[in-house]
Structure 1
Amino acid sequence: MDDYTWKRRLRQRRRRQRRHLFLFILLIASLVSMTVWYAFFYTRTPEYALKQLSTAIEDRNTDAFKKYVNMDVLSSRAYDDLTVDLFAYDSTLTPKSKVMFEKFYIMIKPQLSMGLENAALTRIETGAWNLPDGTDILKGRQLGIDFERFIERSQLRNTTFVSIGNIEHDGSTATAELNILEDYTQTPFTLQLVMEQAEDGHWQVSYIKNYKEYLDLIAPLQNSDIASYIDNTQGIVDEYNGIFEEYQRRFRQLTATSSGQLSAAQRKKIAALLENEVIPALKKRQQKLDEVDIPAGAQYLARQRQHSTETTIKAWQHFIKGCRDNSQAEFSTAETLHKQELAIDLRVQDIIRHTAISKNIPNLP
């Protein structure tokens, strides 16, 4: 190789090295720019917040969820939307009674709003909608309302996330579209999530702008199905109400005692009545109810009726065992189950009454 050729190849090699070095520097600069953009810009966007929120739900990370949702504002606004016209169309209430009930719901707002928060966070953490338990004031009807029914009216449990839509920016606020599906009636809807920046710059969902519109759309659809289901099952309910009234009369006769203690003969007859007649009648009634087609929006009411029947049968089974074994523990268990059954029956009555009232609500445009 002559000297000229060697020098030419050396120059070419150096040019290639400079190009490689330039490309390497460009790549590093791009990576640095992307890192800076991600760390200081993208992480402070509504898009990033919604992505992190979705990840938090998938990972059951309640701390991350609370970071990207202003739970206090969200639950407070949701509560207002749920209760704003709760008694507006109840013609059975006097104006004075309506005002009294409205004041009552304002008074218990902190407890119910916190209950909504806790229920949602528990759902994220465990995957289940657990009701208040133990000494929680929302357990049962201690606060004067049925929290189970309140949660059901919120539509939270029967709403499925579909996708995230458009996000509109407006300075320090943004509105994100959340496409959802109401599970019972399979009705699609687009919620508008209002997002705001926290003090440290990250974005949070503050409230649902059109939550009331969603409730107003879904409730009439469900109420129509519930009304249809009530009408279709009324004959069965009336028939067995008469049958159970007769059983109640016979039960009272069999349990009558001057000493306050049931004799062995009484316990035997009571157990026979419950086992041979009452429980079979309960099962037969439920079988007939199950044979009726359940409209999509009436599934909750149908499940509550089934739950009531199952709980009642369990209660009577413990009562029967208490009669046969003369066991106070079994009687106590039966009493506890009967209290649960009464709470379910009250819930069923509330649904039926609310459906009747809803017929007075004018059609929404």
Structure 2
Amino acid sequence: MPDPTATARRADFHFDPSAAGFDVDPWPTYAYMQEHEPAFWWEEKQAWILTRHEDVVMTLRDPRFSVEFRYYGPDHLPDEQLTAHQLLTRYGMFWMSLEDHNHVRGAVASLFRANAVAEYRQQVQRVVDDILDGTAERGELDVVEDFVLGYPAKAITALLGIPGEQHDDFLRFASSVLDAFYPSIDAAAYDEKMSYLPHGVALVEGLIEQDRANPRGGLLSALIAARRGGRGLSPRQLLGMVGVIISAGSEPTRHLVSFTIYNLLRHPDQLAVLRAQPDLLGNAVNEVGRYDSMGKLNFPRFPLEDIELHGVTLRKGCPVFGVFASAQRDPGVFPDPGRFDIRRDQRGSLLWSTGLHNCLGHSLAQMIVEVAVETFLRRFPDASLLGDPVYTRDTFFRKMVSLPVSLKG
């Protein structure tokens, strides 16, 4: 096996996705890696980085790769010895065994199809309207702080049918789940969030039991009633599903809303196309996810055997990160990848992943994003950017924390 640290590389090249300025323009880094080091050994994290579209797709579709956590970190412990965070991880669809994954996905798949999700659109619209009501009079708006920061979690709270008197507790739990899976806060704040997780888990377990006895309607009731082969989800699998809906439905969607509004406002020609053809909204959202991906590092995959690739060996069990953001700008798949075009053919898009672990709830997430963007553009037709977005350092996302806009042109 070639020494991964000895592969030919530019003397001054260093991969650090948390470096200051990386989030503003990561594309030259990815382009260099695609051309010169498509399988890059990241010494700091002892992991491989893949940046070409075909290689990223391989990690998602090839059965020689697994997402199971047992290939990374400590051996499994009995449920009784797990922390609340570990429990949510074990029973989340990202890391559960293939057998459990197939059962859970098969049981609930119909609940997340586009026609089923459409029934929740009015609930999501009410959440958006409630947030934006009264903002026009201010003349200015921070898209992140004033709009999208809490929006997806509030939408999910409504969709699940959480009783009104428990909204605040559930939203606190949702915030703790997000920081558990996407930590980007200081140690003291992180510890505070983690200390709340057991209370939040108990809250959700109680809601499941109450709803099982007296269904309230909503997505949680539907999850409880879901069956595959006459068998439903176990209480822990239901807990895991709630955790996954929070984590996958909140963090990526809120960034996608911000990035979509940003890119449409800074490309007025494309915004004009969308206003003339509003049915292109879904394609526009997908193009934003391709052209200006908010992602950086996705969850790792783990080879189940040694795999030869680009002259190196991906050793069994070694973490492999396929960089979706880079793959989405691979010129071999997307001609002229640095051009923003909302009419672009989206075949090959990895916005919602692909393969066995493609995003089950992508229709729900897409709807949450589309309702927010459509409402913003409709309510504020003269909106314009007041400055560049501000990012904070984050492992998983190009995390936009501020996007000031004028609402009056």
TM-score range, shorter chain: under 0.3
TM-score normalised by L of structure 1: 0.24
Q: Which has the higher contact order (CA 8 A, sep 6+)?
A: 2
Instruction: Choose between structure 1 and 2: higher helix proportion.
Output: 1
TM-score normalised by L of structure 2: 0.23
